[in-house]
Amino acid sequence: GENVEQHPSTLSVQEGDSAVIKCTYSDSASNYFPWYKQELGKGPQLIIDIRSNVGEKKDQRIAVTLNKTAKHFSLHITETQPEDSAVYFCAASNEGFQKLVFGTGTRLLVSP
Amino acid sequence: NAGVMQNPRHLVRRRGQEARLRCSPMKGHSHVYWYRQLPEEGLKFMVYLQKENIIDESGMPKERFSAEFPKEGPSILRIQQVVRGDSAAYFCASQDRGLGYTFGSGTRLTVV
């Protein structure tokens, strides 16, 4: 089955810096890659996703890149703000089978 | 438009008791997923249901755990004879076909 690895487990940056979180997946059939943000005591919130027919997608300060050949995808956050501090999870699925396989999470801390 | 509603938010059960977790999907969503999150870990898929049908229960333990999504009413995740290892956050997500998941805020189960 699918296996998703995520790095780093923790990431500390200064406000205004960029943050990059990387994930690799094992199943070449996976074609949908969402990213979730989870704040303390809350459920995961979808922040951006990408499908395998594109290599990059951007939404304001957030972007995701996908390299299908290498089976890895990355989340890029620019101009980080303290409110970006949270745990971020990547995930992968074969949309035909619906279920998501999650990475182990990255705790991002943005210091003012 | 209320999001995915889960209740209770917190549930304490003694070993051997039963736990019932409820999930009302977003209006119009007919696909429901249950995930379990252990402390400091990612989310693990448990079960995928559509109205009155279990589509994929490959992530759910064979014993003590069951799930349903009746024609009327919320989806229920039921854990019989709970043990300390069942302590976790249980998240429900709903989906309109082809789009990303929306997660609820979760039920935090503590077994004492």
pLDDT digits (tens, 9 = 90+) for B42-99: 899 999 999 889 999 999 999 999 999 998 899 999 999 999 999 999 999 998 766 6
Measured CA to CA in angstroms, residue A88 lies from B26, B41, B53 at distances of 23, 11, 32
pLDDT at B99: 66
Q: Where are the beta strands (DSSP E) in A26-102?
A: 32-38, 45-51, 56-59, 62-67, 72-77, 86-92, 101-102
d(C-alpha A39, C-alpha A20), whole Å: 18
What pLDDT, in 10s, does the model give residues B3-48?
A: 899 999 999 999 999 999 999 999 888 889 999 999 878 899 999 9
Beta carbons within 8 Å of B91's beta carbon, 6+ residues apart: A43, A44, B6, B34, B35, B36, B37, B43, B103, B104, B106
Q: Which residues of B touch A102 (CB under 8 A)?
A: 35, 42-44
pLDDT at A54: 83
pLDDT at B27: 87
- Choose from A21, A27, A33, A38 for mutation: most chain B CBs within 10 A: A38
Assess contact for A46 and A104: CB atoms under 8 A.
no
Which residues on neighbouring strands pair with residue B72, listed in sequence order?
A: none
Positions in chain A whose pLDDT score sits under 50 = none
d(C-alpha B85, C-alpha B58), whole Å: 19
- Record the tokens describing residue A67, joined without a space: 């390299």
Distance from CA of A15 to the nearest CA of B (A): 25
What pLDDT, in 10s, does the model give residues A48-79?
A: 999 888 899 999 999 999 999 999 999 999 99
pLDDT at B32: 94
pLDDT at B40: 77
Say whether A89 and B102 touch across the interface (CB within 8 A). no
Q: Which of B23, B12, B10, B45 is nearest to A41 (CA)?
A: B10
